[in-house]
Amino acid sequence: MSYETVIGLEVHVELSTASKIFCSCETTFGGEPNTHCCPVCTGLPGALPVLNEQVVDYAIRTCLATHCAITPLTRFDRKNYFYPDLPKAYQISQLHKPIGRNGHLEIETAEGLKKIGIHEIHMEEDAGKLIHDPWEDCTLVDYNRCGVPLLEIVSEPDLRSAEEALIYLEKLRSILQFLGVSDCRMEQGSLRADVNVSVRPVGSQTFGTRTEMKNMNSFKAIGRAIVAEAKRQIDLIEDGKTIKQETRRWDENKDSSFAMRSKEDAMDYRYFPDPDLVAINITPDWIERVRSGLAELPESRRARYIADWQLSEYEAGVLTTHPAIANLFEETATLSGRPKDAASWMLGEFMQAAKEQECEPQDLHMPAQSLATLIARVAEGVVNRNTAKKIFTQILENKVDPDAYIEQNGLRMVSNPDALKDKIAEIIAANPQSIVDYKAGKTKAMGFLVGQVMRAMQGKADPQLLNELLKDALDRA
Ligand SMILES: [Zn+2]
């Protein structure tokens, strides 16, 4: 029998507001343990929460970008559970009146466009972090993260493969980043997903029993976990066994998951409306104010790059993977007036530099003005492309000003035919074998001699002129 995998994702994203959701403590990642805390976020008796308006703004942005209907009178509920990462013994979350419902995202799959439903989006507070210390055999707790605002974005079970799940996650991450609501740094836990997986025979309309893998913070692990979990479930069914509804933990090192606990239902959490927080009246005016300030999303930017600047689909796609990359590209293209060149530098040297420095391209420090100047100097024939590459590295590593660097290091391209002819004569005289090879039709010899002259001129020769003059000299030799 062949089976179909059914996947639903609950994505938790930490919002990049300056302060926490119900107090004024800072949200910066890291810091000495328990230094970003106060009586509110550590749940001391009598402390009262005050809602951070920015959180609602960010939630509205996200609802608009994912086509969710916004609940006009949204409200917070208490989700009760006893665990030391949340000292209040309840999490302020939303169950009955989440801020957004019935949205969708369109993803591009191998079979074409596919609509993935978004069941709901709700606002909640993050919990603290438990650090298990195996040496001291104890558990430490850090409440810096406690009360950091979260959005939980719950998809419908519309995804059918690990590939689709990853395309959906990448698309969602890119939207959240372009909206400016989260940095989505998975390694810092600002984007994590609970992955629900079930299987059913192809053609069946009812869902199988699902399991959930919680708090996954790497796309690679999510992809592998889905494949492994679907296989585990199919094997159980084929063996005539039943699948238990449970929470499982994915072990990346063992490439397998193991059962943690049976899955709780909403009832287990004894939800009830939080009496300390009034309902929020989201007026049409408020929504319009947020809508009018909404950042341009990657899809629209891609279309613009292709239509206005004649970039290819591929180039436009790479340049819109992160807002910092798209912004740098757009600024450089505008400042230099050479969008094609700007794209070529970004896709070439810029991405290569990120690979070499083993960092994300958006974390590189490259001022648009410097890159635009460099592009202009190549176009004007002040420096050749190879020299420009070296200057590019200097801008990245030592923050040099390209014009000053060219002057200080005498990097102007040599386009003076006499200066080039002298060097060519010297090199030809020193390499008689290459002349013989060239005459015998070995084109490699030409390349070798070009390299020799270039080196003798510290890479500053005008490459086109050098080629012409060298060919001329060889034909006459
Ligand atoms: Zn606080």
Q: Has residue 428 been placed in a domain?
A: yes
State the average pLDDT over residues 77-106.
Answer: 95
228 CA distance to ligand 1 middle (Å): 40
pLDDT at 221: 93
156 CA distance to ligand 1 middle (Å): 34
Domain match, 225 and 333 both: no
Q: Is the pLDDT of residue 91 over 90?
A: yes
Of the candidates 251, 286, 321, which is a domain's last residue? 286
120 CA distance to ligand 1 middle (Å): 27
Q: Mind listing the pLDDT tens digit for each residue in 283-317?
A: 999 999 999 999 999 999 999 999 999 999 999 99
376 CA distance to ligand 1 middle (Å): 50
Domain match, 236 and 382 both: no
Q: Mind listing the pLDDT tens digit for each residue in 419-435?
A: 888 888 888 888 888 88
Domain match, 186 and 95 both: yes
**Which has more confidence, 254 or 80?**
80
Average pLDDT, the chain: 92
- Do the beta carbons of residue 213 and residue 229 sit within 8 Å? yes
Q: Has residue 412 been placed in a domain?
A: no
* Rounded-to-integer distance, Cα 333 and Cα 474, Å: 41
Domain match, 264 and 399 both: no
Q: Is the pLDDT of residue 151 over 80?
A: yes
**Could you tell me the residue range of the domain that residue 239 belongs to?**
3-286
Q: Is the pLDDT of residue 475 over 90?
A: no
Angle between helical axes of 417-430 and 444-456 (0-180°, round to 10): 120
Q: Has residue 143 been placed in a domain?
A: yes
404 CA distance to ligand 1 middle (Å): 49
65 CA distance to ligand 1 middle (Å): 30
- Do the beta carbons of residue 62 and residue 29 sit within 8 Å? no
Domain match, 472 and 399 both: no
Domain match, 152 and 215 both: yes
33 CA distance to ligand 1 middle (Å): 13
Rounded to the nearest 10 degrees, how much is the dihedral formed by the CA atoms of 308, 311, 312, 316?
-90
pLDDT at 312: 95
Summarize the chain as % helix, strand, coil (round to 5).
Answer: 45, 20, 35
Give the other-Cβ count within 10 Å of 407's Cβ.
11
Of the candidates 406, 433, 456, which is a domain's last residue? 406
Query: Which DSSP state fits 277?
Result: S
Measured CA to CA in angstroms, residue 365 lies from 244, 356, 396, 407 at distances of 50, 14, 6, 23
23 CA distance to ligand 1 middle (Å): 5
Q: Mind listing the pLDDT tens digit for each residue in 324-363?
A: 999 999 999 999 999 999 999 999 999 999 999 999 898 9
22 CA distance to ligand 1 middle (Å): 7
Q: What's the N-to-C CA distance of the chain in angstroms?
A: 76
Domain match, 279 and 211 both: yes
Of the candidates 286, 312, 328, which is a domain's last residue? 286
284 CA distance to ligand 1 middle (Å): 31
Domain match, 143 and 269 both: yes
Domain match, 149 and 248 both: yes
Q: For the domain that residue 463 is a member of, what is the CATH number?
A: 1.10.10.410
50 CA distance to ligand 1 middle (Å): 10
Q: Has residue 282 been placed in a domain?
A: yes
Give the other-Cβ count within 10 Å of 395's Cβ.
20
Q: Among 321, 404, 402, 405, which residue's Cα sits nearest to residue 363?
A: 321
pLDDT at 266: 64
Give the predicted TM-score (pTM) of the model.
0.85
125 CA distance to ligand 1 middle (Å): 11
78 CA distance to ligand 1 middle (Å): 18
43 CA distance to ligand 1 middle (Å): 9
pLDDT at 263: 64
Domain match, 8 and 111 both: yes
Q: Has residue 460 been placed in a domain?
A: yes
DSSP helix/strand/coil, 112: strand
* 130-139, 321-330, 437-446, range with greatest mean pLDDT: 321-330
Domain match, 127 and 269 both: yes
pLDDT at 264: 66
pLDDT at 132: 87
Q: Has residue 291 been placed in a domain?
A: no
Q: Has residue 254 been placed in a domain?
A: yes
- Do the beta carbons of residue 61 and residue 290 sit within 8 Å? yes
* Rounded-to-integer distance, Cα 91 and Cα 143, Å: 13
62 CA distance to ligand 1 middle (Å): 25
pLDDT at 469: 87
Q: Mind listing the pLDDT tens digit for each residue in 379-403?
A: 998 998 889 999 999 999 999 999 9
Domain match, 318 and 426 both: no
Q: How many domains does the chain have?
A: 3
Q: Has residue 293 been placed in a domain?
A: no
51 CA distance to ligand 1 middle (Å): 12
pLDDT at 440: 83
Q: Is the pLDDT of residue 225 over 80?
A: yes
State the average pLDDT over residues 240-268.
Answer: 81
- Do the beta carbons of residue 432 and residue 411 sit within 8 Å? no
70 CA distance to ligand 1 middle (Å): 28
52 CA distance to ligand 1 middle (Å): 12
184 CA distance to ligand 1 middle (Å): 22
